[in-house]
Amino acid sequence: MRVLAAMSGGVDSAVAAARARDAGHDVVGVHLALSAKPATMREGARGCCSVEDSRDARRCADVLGVPFYVWDMAERFSADVVEPFVAEYAAGHTPNPCLRCNEKIKFSAVLDRALALGFDAVVTGHYARLHDGVLRRAVDAGKDQSYVLGVLTARQLAHAVFPLGESLKSEVRAEAARRGLVVAEKPDSHDICFIPSGDTRGFLADRLDDAPGELVDAASGAVLGRHNGVAGFTVGQRHGLGLDRPAPDGRPRYVLGIEPVSRQVRVGAAEELDVRSLSAGSPVWHGEPGVTDGVVVQVRAHGGLAPARVTVGEESLAAELGQPLRGVAPGQAVVVYDDDRVLGSATITATG
């Protein structure tokens, strides 16, 4: 099989490419240039896709003896990931850009180009398993990335290869060292790759025509203070609210909701964050629509799990939760699991 190995410049994608080669595949490595200013895309362990990462990927490809190319995807990445990320926050939502990158870039733009060039599949360093076209959780629960792959369609999964799904991260690093790969001890990237500083609020403030507004007690409607703009607030946020006095009972306050039009940020007690039902749109479902009992939903890349009863239609998904979840906001993805098997996903539009 002729495969295109997406090599980010990190240890996971390098070992994935090596394993694909060892499995007898005809491997070609490709590094995705996702930024028009790659020199700004890494700060220590934050971010990725920098010039340094491109060079690391090339050095790994040389060690493995596979051809290597750089594909400029900066314009597509900006249009399909960065701009929607900003627009979602402007609407008061909480997007997941890593999930959208998988959906729109790695398994859409890159996969489509790969297939057009005669490749059979795209290989990545994601920690997830594929068995007969079915996406499953990785063996390493702490590194499992099936959540951010839950948006992939059956067609996309049919052309995907995840060689690391059966391994622990420690095993991958040890293997990289044995193979003489320079990235064996390279730190994993954290946070949002196109915000290497980690300052999401500052990034959004530079791109949105934001304005001051009120911090309002959700229960009483009382104005508690003011903020400089809704950009960067997220449901469930506790710190950085700018309130100079605690609640009457002395307990901390959390962001409960964001109203971009009125520019109000509603705050309240932790228990008011409890969500017992979800509504979601644009489902990707691997099976027949209808009602499914005894499943588990996940609303964050790590954590945020609850048993649920899920109803799936052609354009919508609804979940009744067996136990409440906190910090759930429109814009997040909900991924549905049957044990370790991904049944599908959708984008949350409302909570109850």
Residues with a known catalytic role: 101, 193
Q: Are strands 26-33 and 68-72 parallel, antiparallel or unpaired?
A: parallel
Contact 122/111 with Cβ under 8 angstroms?
yes
CA–CA gap between residue 302 and residue 168 (Å, rounded): 16
CA–CA gap between residue 308 and residue 310 (Å, rounded): 6
Residues with Cβ within 8 Å of residue 292, at least 6 apart in sequence: 309, 310, 311, 312, 336, 338, 343
DSSP-derived letter for residue 151 is T
Helix or strand holding residue 201 (H, E)? helix 200-205
Torsion angle of alpha carbons 218, 219, 220, 224, nearest 10°?
-40
3-state secondary structure (DSSP) of residue 8: coil
